[in-house]
Chain A
Amino acid sequence: MSTAVAHDTGAPDAPSGRDVLLEARGVVMRFGGLTAVDDVDLTVREGEIVGLIGPNGAGKTTFFNCLTGLYKPTEGEVRLSGTVLPPKPGRVVRAGMSRTFQNIRLFANMTALENVMVGRYCRTKAGAFDSILRTPRFRREEAQTRERAQELLDYVGLGRSTELLARNMPYGDQRRLEIARALATDPKVLLLDEPTAGMNPQETADAERLIFKIRDSGLAVVVIEHDMRFIFNLCDRVLCLVRGKTLIEGTPGEVQSDPRVIEAYIGTGDGTEPDDPDDIDAKIEAQVEAREAREGGRG
């Protein structure tokens, strides 16, 4: 049942020969007068790991939010396996693209297992009547959900933490749990937003191994990361965003040696830029959250 994850396929072929899974064309995201993402293209093929780098405020997370339907892009479209994705998070997940969050957003008061089981929600069908009457379909599905969730926890190395409350878990484990939850939706493409933020070197190495393992099982992975060594080790291709625009796209080697990339990173530090040097992503995030809070938060 877990063909996507269960077996290793060995060394991948050259990525360019594979089918295109995710294709974003001309994505633009404006907030009032501020253009956070400006005409960004992204192509991700089967079995590929693509890195998304860029200084703070380059619009990486905003771009992720556009891809996953959390924001409705002002312009441009996102296709998954050729079909245009509507800007609705639920539909995007069902279509086969799942994500983790920069600031971990687990269901804190649920156990690890329950968190992953929630991820199975969109792949199960038992409705209210099945649940109330405990029909055979309900029992079968519930058992499968549980089994699959446990399998995924084992897969990310949390097999022994099944019954721990998410809020009681160590930070690194929480990040891995988020990956397991995302994998539970049976994605074709997995988007990871800073999967190693706040991790020690040992945990980072573990995370790297886990991402390779996920890739080898046939998924495509897009990673936002600040840790350059991590990203250049991991990725087949790297896309560098600066102030919402694509600066360069290429192999890790090409991007690493490009003087503009270095300048972009150093340039943000000296404060001479005309644009707001602060983290635009964080600002937008804060604004959007404030609005959501106003329009009625958790009920």
Chain B
Amino acid sequence: MNDIPQQLVNGLTNGSLYALIAVGYTVVYGIVQLINFAHGEVFMIGAFGALSTWFLLFRDNTSVWVLPVMIAGAIAASVATAVIMERIAYRPLRHAPRLAPLITAIGISVFLQEFVRLFYGTIPGFPSAKSKIPFPAIDGVTGSPFHLGSVVIQRPALFTMGALLVCGLFLGWFINKTKQGRAMQAVSQDPDTARLMGIDVDRIIVIAFALGAALAAIAGVAQGLQNNNIDFKMGFMAGLKAFTAAVLGGIGNIQGAVVGGLTLGVAEALATVFVTGAWKDVFAFGLLILVLVFRPQGLLGARVVDRA
């Protein structure tokens, strides 16, 4: 039981990652009531975007100033993917029976995974993505861990938690203080009235997709730093976990996604302590099913508008 504090740190680290991805599910769901199943792949593409940026611009340079550029590359790749998929796949189906966008989402998810697996390596100078690709170890954010008593804190873990903190603050500011953020809230409460008030609903939906994608991209970089490698399959499990986190916090509720992510991370870590690591994922999904059955509105309740 001595490793409980250590597991808590690990849990918070994973939880931060889940939270960053979960925001994307929740923002999109809050506005178009669509589970963007392919969001996990947007996260994966973020990681590959960062890696590609590094290959193209820096190659062998691991000094810390490279990192912001890599993050920018990640965000660019993820946002582009998300916006394109919204435009060509989801938008035409906005009034179709709900089965249609869901099936489309699965199609996109499989397609993106395979696309990266098959074609990433065909770009000159890039390694094949059919197996894991090493992720550059950036100075400062990787390397020797910090020690806090008996607890070991890896540097990438700090990066992940820091990223969540910064993104959380940014989100709070964006949603409440900017014009787009407030329009987003309006659309999620009542799309028809929002449209009548002159809000361009299509644009807000695109912004929601982009916002989620940007956060997922940052999570992708964080994941790469933590694991030292990335692969085309990384989005599936992470996406599923993040969705669990979003449901746990109450889907549609942005604070909920963060709380849900951290809760799930910690719960998983504790499961590792008390049961065994092999059943960690089973535990997480079991939790998802239980929450959906007994408290479908999540821990923090559904979106704020429901309190009308």
Contact = CB atoms under 8 A, between A and B. Distances in A.
B306 interface: yes
A175 to B, nearest CB: 25
A299 interface: yes
Contacts of A293: 33
A294 B308 contact: no
A129 interface: no
Interface residues of B, number: 14
Interface of A: 31-32, 286-287, 290-291, 293-295, 297-299
18 contacts: A31-B308, A32-B307, A286-B190, A287-B308, A290-B190, A291-B302, A291-B306, A293-B33, A294-B252, A294-B302, A295-B296, A297-B33, A297-B98, A298-B97, A298-B98, A298-B99, A299-B98, A299-B99
Interface string B254-266: 0000000000000
Nearest to B303: A294
A286 B98 CA distance: 18
Interface in B16-57: 29, 33
A286 B251 CA distance: 20
A33 B97 CA distance: 34
Contacts of B33: 293-294, 297
B123 to A, nearest CB: 41
Interface of B: 29, 33, 97-99, 190, 251-252, 296, 302-303, 306-308
Report which residue of A31, A291, A293, A294 has the largest number of chain B beta carbons within 10 angstroms of its beta carbon.
A294
Nearest to B30: A294
Nearest to B251: A294
Contacts of A295: 296
A286 B190 CA distance: 9
Contacts of B190: 286, 290
A35 to B, nearest CB: 14
Contacts of B251: 294
Contacts of B99: 298-299
A75 to B, nearest CB: 20
7 A-B pairs with the lowest CB-CB distances in the bound complex, closest first: A297-B98, A298-B98, A294-B33, A293-B33, A32-B308, A287-B308, A298-B97
A125 to B, nearest CB: 29
Given A295-B296, A298-B97, A298-B99, 8 more contacts: A31-B308, A290-B190, A293-B33, A294-B251, A294-B252, A294-B302, A294-B303, A297-B98
A294 B301 CA distance: 13
Report which residue of B99, B307, B308 has the largest number of chain A beta carbons within 10 angstroms of its beta carbon.
B308
B191 to A, nearest CB: 9
B168 to A, nearest CB: 24
Contacts of A299: 98-99
A293 B29 CA distance: 11
A299 B98 CA distance: 6
Nearest to B97: A298
Nearest to B297: A295
Contacts of B306: 291
A32 B296 CA distance: 19
B175 to A, nearest CB: 18
